[in-house]
Every structure is written in C-alpha cells, then in structure tokens.
C-alpha cells in the first residue's frame, strides 16, 4: 500500500507536506519532535505550524502515535510498528524498543480494586544503555 493510498484511505489529501512528513516519520529511528521532523525536511519543508497540524491529523487518523518522555516535548512515531515501550538512555539519549507490554495484570488490578476501566497507558523506561554502561565502567577503572 503506497503512501498516497494510506492517506487516501483516511480521506486525507495527499499534499506534498503530508507525503514529506510521512516519509520523515517512517525514516526516523526514534520518536521525533516536530522540530526534528521539520528540520530533517530542510528547504522544501512545509511551515512549522503546518507540520504541527499534519501530525495532529496523523494522530487522529492513526498514522502516527504521540510519545511522551516526560521532558515536556511531544514526540511522534509512525504507527507501522505496533504498540511497544521505549528504553530511554538518560546518558546518551538513545532509544531502545521493548516489544513487551504487561499492563493487563495492572489493568485487572485497577478494575478489581478501584472499579477503574483502563483504556490506555503511558509507560516509558529510563536507564542506561549497554554502550553508556561500558563507557562508565571504563572511565571508572
């Protein structure tokens, strides 16, 4: 399915800006901020405000997913990859992907103890990636 089809299927006009942002999102190796995406597109990039609007639409249409690391910046990632969580290295900022999610038991507990029905969750893990751990042990030596 081509990009245009994806957009079409969601009745989103296939404008140049959308095609560009869509590609940038796909190409990103990690969740990207609006500024990141905008910058990656260089000269031909649509206006920054437009990129904001495009991503808003993408989220509504489930082409993109917002990602929050709690640093006040909103990031986005393509929905091509399914639900997962991130391993955010607090030392170098690298992002790992954890394709494991075990919130069901928490959801059950929320329902059991509070009668609360969970519909979505926010879960990100922070720590040290192997590379940074190696460096740290080296410089410590």
7 in contact with DNA (CB under 7 A): yes
Q: Measured in whole angstroms, how far is the alpha carbon of residue 59 from the centre of its chain?
A: 11
Q: Measured in whole angstroms, how far is the alpha carbon of residue 79 from the centre of its chain?
A: 8
Q: Which stretch binds a second copy (CB under 8 A): 26-34, 37-45, 53-61, 127-135?
A: 127-135
CA dist 78 and 44 (Å) reads 21
Q: How far apart are the first and last CA of the chain?
A: 53
Using CB under 7 A, which of 1, 2, 13, 117 touches DNA? 13
Among positions 26-85, residues that touch a second copy (CB under 8 A) are 66, 68-70, 72, 74, 85
* Contacts for 59 with CB less than 8 Å, ≥ 6 apart: 65, 66, 76
Residue (5 or 109) nearer to a second copy, CB: 109
Residues that bind DNA (CB under 7 A): 4, 7-8, 12-18, 33-35, 46-50, 52-54, 56-57, 72-74
């Amino acid at each position: 399915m081509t990009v245009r089809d994806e957009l079409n299927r969601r009745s989103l006009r296939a404008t140049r800006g959308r095609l560009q942002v869509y590609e940038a999102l796909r190409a990103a190796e990690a969740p990207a901020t609006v500024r990141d995406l905008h910058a990656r597109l260089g000269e031909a990039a649509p206006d920054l405000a437009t990129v904001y609007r495009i991503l808003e639409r993408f989220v509504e249409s489930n082409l993109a997913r917002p990602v929050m690391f709690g640093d006040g910046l909103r990031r986005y990632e393509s929905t091509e990859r399914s639900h997962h969580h991130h391993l955010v290295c607090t030392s170098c900022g690298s992002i790992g992907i954890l394709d494991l999610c075990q919130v069901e038991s928490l959801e059950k507990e929320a329902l059991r103890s509070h009668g609360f029905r969970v519909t979505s969750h926010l879960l990100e893990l922070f720590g040290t990636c192997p590379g940074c751990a190696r460096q740290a042990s080296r410089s410590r030596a």
